[in-house]
Amino acid sequence: MAAAPDELPAVARRRVRLALRSAREETGKSQHEVADTLGWSLSKLQRVELGEVTITPTDLRALLTEYGVVDEERIGALAEDARVSRRERYWTAQEHREYLPPGLLQLVQFELAATAIREYQSTLVPGHLQTRALAEATLSWFDKSLTVEERRVRRDVRLARRRDVIERDGAPDFLLMLDESVLWRTVGGLETAAEQFEDLAETAKRPNVHVRVLPRDTGALLGTFGAFTVLDLSAAEGDAVLYRESYTRDDLVQDPVEVGYHREVFERFWRRSLDEEASVALILARAYDLRARIARAACDVKDDESLPDES
C-alpha cells in the first residue's frame, strides 16, 4: 500500500476540498448561493467540501470558474489532485476495501503523509505497535462480529502499519501516550504480555518514537475520551486530521476545531505524563514482573511433578 505522499488519494482529496472551500470563502458566497448558481443540490456541494466524494473534471472547472480562479498553474494542480483522488479504488487492495472500515482506509494513507503523529491509548498498546501474538489475541475478541478472513486482513494491516508508521525511511515523529492501566492488562496471557512490553520498550529506543506513560490517577479524566490520534500533515498550522476508534466503529475527522481541541488536550496531559526515561523503565519493570511470574509458575509445576504419588 506504500505510495509517495503526493500520490495518496485521500491526501489529494483533502487538498482539493480545502482549496475549493477556501476559494468559495474568498468570494464571500455561501454554499447555498453557489449551489443555486450551478444548479446543484446543496448536499452535493457540501459533500465535495467535506471530502466525502471525489469531484469530476467538469464539476471542478465549473466551481473554479464560479470562484473566478484563472491561474492555470493553480487550476492544473487542482485538476491533478482531483485525478489522483479518484484512484482510491486502484490504490487500495481489494481485500482492504472489502474488510477494513472507511476510517482506517483513510488513516493508513494519512499516516504515510504525516510529519508527526500524536496518539493516546487508554486500554491497549496501539495496533501498529502490537506483536503478532498480541494482535491475534485482541482480534480474537471479535470472533462473533468479524469473519476469520476479516481478522486476518486486519492483523496483516496492523503489522504493515508498524513498518510504514515507525520503521520506514522518513518516518514521522511518533508521540505515544499510554494510560498506566495498559501495563496492568495481561492480554493474551503472561508470555504474550511480557513479550509485548519488551518489544514496546525496544521500539521506544528509535529516535522518532517517544513513549510516555500517563499515571492512572492523572489520566482518569482523559480516559473518558477514548483512544484518538492527531496526525500533522505539514508544518502549516491547522493542517492536521483526527482519527478516533471505538469497539465497533471508527471515523476520521477533518474539522479544524475538533482536531485542534484534541491536540490541545493531548499536549496538556503529555506534559503531566512520566518522562520518556521513567516511562520505559516502568514498562520494562512490568515486563520483568511478568517474566518472574512465568518463572515461578514453571517452578511450581516442577515441584508438583517431583512430589511422590500418594495414591
Same domain, 17 and 140: no
Domain that holds residue 17: 5-90
Sorting pLDDT into bands at 50, 70 and 90, what band is 86? confident
Q: Give me the CATH number covering residue 182.
A: 3.30.870
As a whole number of Å, the end-to-end CA separation of the chain is 63
Question: Residue type for 242, please?
Answer: L
* Residue 157 within a domain: yes
Same domain, 192 and 49: no
Same domain, 18 and 34: yes
Same domain, 83 and 211: no
Same domain, 68 and 210: no
pLDDT the model gives residue 244: 92
* Residue 302 within a domain: no
- Write the CA distances from 218 to 22, 177, 214, 225, 274, integer angstroms: 40, 12, 7, 14, 11
43: exposed, middle or buried (Cβ count in 10 Å: 0-12, 13-18, 19+): exposed
Sorting pLDDT into bands at 50, 70 and 90, what band is 308? low
pLDDT the model gives residue 163: 86
* Residue 228 within a domain: yes
Same domain, 213 and 290: yes
Same domain, 65 and 143: no
pLDDT the model gives residue 247: 66
CA distance 257 to 262: 9
pLDDT the model gives residue 1: 40
* Residue 305 within a domain: no
pLDDT the model gives residue 292: 96
Last residue of one domain, picked from the residues 90, 114, 142: 90
Q: Which residues pair with 243 in a beta bridge?
A: 229, 252
Please write the tens of the pLDDT for every residue from 162-197. 888 898 888 999 999 999 999 999 999 999 999 999
* Mean pLDDT over each residue of the chain, to the nearest integer: 89
Same domain, 158 and 76: no
HSE (CB half, 13 Å, CA atoms) of 122?
Answer: 18
The secondary structure of 241-269 as a DSSP string is EEEEE-SS-EEEE--HHHHHHHHHHHHHH
Q: Which of 93-102, 205-214, 301-310 has the lowest mean pLDDT?
A: 301-310
Same domain, 84 and 100: no
Same domain, 81 and 108: no
* Residue 98 within a domain: yes
* Residue 307 within a domain: no
Q: Give me the CATH number covering residue 86.
A: 1.10.260.40
Is a pLDDT exceeding 50 seen at residue 299?
Answer: yes
- Write the CA distances from 279 to 46, 222, 234, integer angstroms: 45, 18, 28
Last residue of one domain, picked from the residues 58, 90, 122: 90
Question: Residue type for 310, please?
Answer: E
Q: Which of 223, 218, 197, 205 is nearest to 289 (CA)?
A: 197
Total structural domains within the chain: 2
pLDDT > 70: percent of the chain? 94
Please write the tens of the pLDDT for every residue from 234-280. 888 889 999 998 766 788 999 999 999 999 999 999 999 999 999 99
* Residue 28 within a domain: yes
Please write the tens of the pLDDT for every residue from 43-74. 999 999 888 888 999 999 999 999 999 999 99
Same domain, 83 and 177: no
Same domain, 214 and 97: yes
Please write the tens of the pLDDT for every residue from 107-119. 889 999 999 999 9
* Residue 311 within a domain: no
Last residue of one domain, picked from the residues 90, 109, 132: 90
